[in-house]
Amino acid sequence: MIFILILLMLIGYMYGIYLWFEKAGEIGWHAFIPYLRIKTWIKLTNKPKWFVVGSFVPVLNLFIYTHLIGETSDSYRRYDFWEHTIAILFGWFWLPYLGKKDEEKYYGVGGERDNFKRPKKLKIREWADAIIFAIAAAYFIRTFIFEIYAIPTSSMEGTLRVGDVLVVSKFHYGSRIPNTPLAFPLVHHSFPQFLGGGKSYLEWIKLPYKRLPALETIDRNDMVVFNFPANDTTTREFDSALPYYDLVRRAEAEGIPNPRKFVKDKYTVIARPVDKRENYIKRCVAIPGDKLEVKSGVLYINDQAAYEPDFLQFTYLVYADQPLSNDDFYALDITEFNAIPGAGNVYEIYTNKSKAKELEGLSQVSRVEIYHFDSEADFNGSEYTFYPYHEDFTWNQDNYGPIIIPSKGMTIALNKKNYLLYERCIRVYEGNTLEIKNGEAYINGVPTDGYTFTMDYYWMMGDNRHRSQDSRFWGFVPEDHIVGKAWFLVTSFSKEKGFIRFDRTFRGIHSQWAPEEEKYRK
């Protein structure tokens, strides 16, 4: 329905240009042929020939077409600010309206035929036109084409680094129609504090989940940006907006007694619309219908060991004969490390296999060992902080599953195990009521022994496997939470070295996959 509406709007614009061409003595049907349309349009508005090429360049063409629509309005001698605004934002009905009225004439470039001079715009009017256009263009680009995203944490370290600035494509997986269309276009969900903070969107209009047609589907190992599925959080105690279990782990690290109760007492959920929840970026390791399991740090998909690229990071223990300096780690571009208190010259680092091997080659290093959470203490100490947070599932980050990723149309039996694993999907993401009475499941008040999913789901994991809050902690990512595909790097800033990483500037993100590895993506 949404796609049909957008198509009708585009046809409305072209029909209005068709009528305008005819009034100007040109061939009307040229309005429906992209090259002929722009060629005729720049002729009638006396614009430079490079507009023809520019009209086919994404983003630039938005500016060109908007400018030409304004010139079209002027040629009708419609110069008022609101007439320009209506022509740009609602030209799909305004241009055909002008074209159908006999009294509306084409008066040449800028409406200056017969020695008529178009009114000179005041500076404030020029600024107002520019601001209206900038806001409209920014909203359209950010909603349907792409968005700039900066990597704030190390959860994808090894592949995407803290300081990376990347472009997220909205159209690869199908641009999502916003749930809250009434929003300021330059911010996500809140205004900056210097502007007073507060919500940057209105909930007067709420639209159901819809996507425009996609160029491709999400493949295994795609790097995907999505809205955080377990709700946004703020706390009175912590100056951050982190998930509940992030805060629990922080409290544990700080040695706070009974950390779960401590955080729960100060934890407040903010129920934002899906499209206004925090943006996360992870690697999609499992797609709808997959069986996923992690055993001793090795990921298995459908009972086969998944491809493990060299840049995946894990915890390593470094045993040295003498102290290592920060520069020793920085020289190998290892940025996450710390000395283990009371253990002598032993260090805990987070890095990949190749860098660990380089570190082992240093003269002062005796050995480097990978560490996986396999001991009995690693299971018992988790306090069920891993999804689905129940004593029947004593999983941790290196030993998890097996678990089946739901797919649209898949039916499951509603037993105790499935209830715990999929209750959130059924109740929260798909909007049903779910109750257990006398051992029997009731969905929307109706007794049932099974459930059929209405959406596809995905499993996201960070490449920094021991430093990532991902699906192991909060479960599945529904399709309506998918924002877009991590497309390419614009640039990258090194906090440790204080300069731009030029080797990570204007670089493709997924280009690292070699042809022989492609089979692991499907």
Q: In the structure encoding, which two tokens stand for residue 173, read together?
A: 């997986």
Cα distances (angstroms) measured from residue 263 to each of 30, 236, 242, 246, 314: 65, 10, 11, 10, 28
Contact 247, 233 (CB under 8 A): yes
The larger pLDDT score, comparing residue 199 to residue 466, is at 466
Cβ-contact 350, 516 below 8 angstroms: no
Strands (E), 307-405: 314-320, 337-339, 346-351, 365-371, 400-404
Query: In this predicted structure, what is the pLDDT of residue 246?
Result: 61
Quickly state the pLDDT bin for 270 (edges 50, 70, 90). low
List domains and CATH numbers for the chain: 2-120 (no CATH), 314-371 (3.30.70.80), 411-452 (no CATH)
Q: By mean pLDDT, which of 267-276, 340-349, 417-426 is the weakest? A: 267-276
The H-or-E segment that residue 507 falls in is strand 507-508
- State the average pLDDT for the chain: 84
Q: Quick check: bond before 388 cis, omega within 30?
A: yes
Q: What pLDDT does residue 265 have?
A: 63
* Model pLDDT, residue 44: 93
pLDDT tens per residue across span 383-407: 567 888 888 888 999 999 999 999 9
pLDDT for the residue numbered 482: 97
Residue 519 confidence (pLDDT) above 50: no
| DSSP of 65-130 | HHHHHHHHHHHTT--SHHHHHHHHHSHHHHHHHHHH-TT----SGGG-GGG--PPPPPHHHHHHHH
pTM assigned to the model: 0.76
Residues 327-366 pLDDT 10s: 999 988 888 899 999 888 999 999 999 999 999 999 999 9
CA distances from 317 to 112, 195, 369, 464 (A): 78, 46, 5, 15
Residue 471 has pLDDT above 90, yes or no: yes
Q: Which residue has the higher pLDDT, 4 or 505?
A: 505
Mean pLDDT, residues 268-282 taken together: 81
Quote the pLDDT of residue 116: 87
What is the reported pLDDT for 263?
A: 65
Phi-psi region of 383 (alpha: psi -120 to 50; beta: other; left: phi over 0): left
Confidence grade of residue 376 (pLDDT, cut at 50, 70, 90):
confident
**What is the rounded CA–CA span in Å between residue 358 and residue 121?**
66
* Max mean pLDDT range (172-181, 281-290, 386-395): 281-290
In the chain, % of residues over pLDDT 90: 40
Tokens (6 digits) for 299: 């990921």
Average pLDDT over residues 39-43: 93
Q: Cα–chain-centroid distance for residue 38?
A: 34
Q: How far is CA 333 from CA 151, 210, 324, 336, in A?
A: 17, 43, 14, 9
The pLDDT tens digits of the residues spanning 187-236 come to: 888 887 777 778 888 888 888 999 988 989 999 999 999 999 876 444 44
Structure tokens at 520: 């692991």
The per-residue pLDDT for 81 is: 82
- Whether pLDDT at 517 is above 50: no
pLDDT at 41 over 90: yes
